[in-house]
Structure 1
Amino acid sequence: MTDLKFNFGTDVIVLRSCYHADGADLLAIAGEGSVEVIQCNNTAIRPLAYFLVGLRVSSIAWSPKTVSPSASDRWILELAISTHDFGLHILSKSNNSLESVRRFGGGLTGHHARVNDITFVGGQEDIARHVATVSDDRNLIVWDLRPSATNNLETRKDLQPPEYQPTALVIPFAHPLCSVSSHASTSKELLVSDTRGSVFLIDWRKDPSDSDEEAFSHQSILELVHPRSLSDALANTSKSLFGYASWRTDDPSVVGAVFGSEFAVWDIGKLKGGKPFVVGPAFSEGGHKFRWCPSFSEYFAISTSAMTSNGGVISVYNIHHLQAQTATIQIAPQPHRVIDFDWIGNRGTPRLAAAVGRDVFIFPISLD
Structure 2
Amino acid sequence: MNGHHDVHSGLHSEHGALAGEHPGRVRDPVVKVLDLAWLEFEKPDLDGAETFAHAFGFTTAMRTADELQLRGTDSGSPCVLIRRGDRSRFVGPAFRAAEAGDLLRLAEATDSRPVPLPESLGGLTVDLADPSGLRVRVVAETHELGALRSQQPQVYNLGHEVTRINVTQRPARVPARVQRLGHVVVQTTKYRETLDWYLRNLGLIVSDFLYYPGQRKRGPVMSFVRCDQGSTPADHHTLALTLGPSNRYVHSAYQVADLDALAAGGEFLREHGYRRSWGIGRHIQGSQIFDYWRDPDGFMVEHFSDGDMFDCTLEPGWAPMSASGLSQWGPPVTKDFLGISPGPESLRELRAIFDALREDNEFDFRRLRGLLKVAKS
Normalization by structure 2: what TM-score? 0.29
Highest RCO, 1 vs 2 (Cα 8 Å, sep ≥ 6): 2
Choose between structure 1 and 2: higher helix proportion: 2
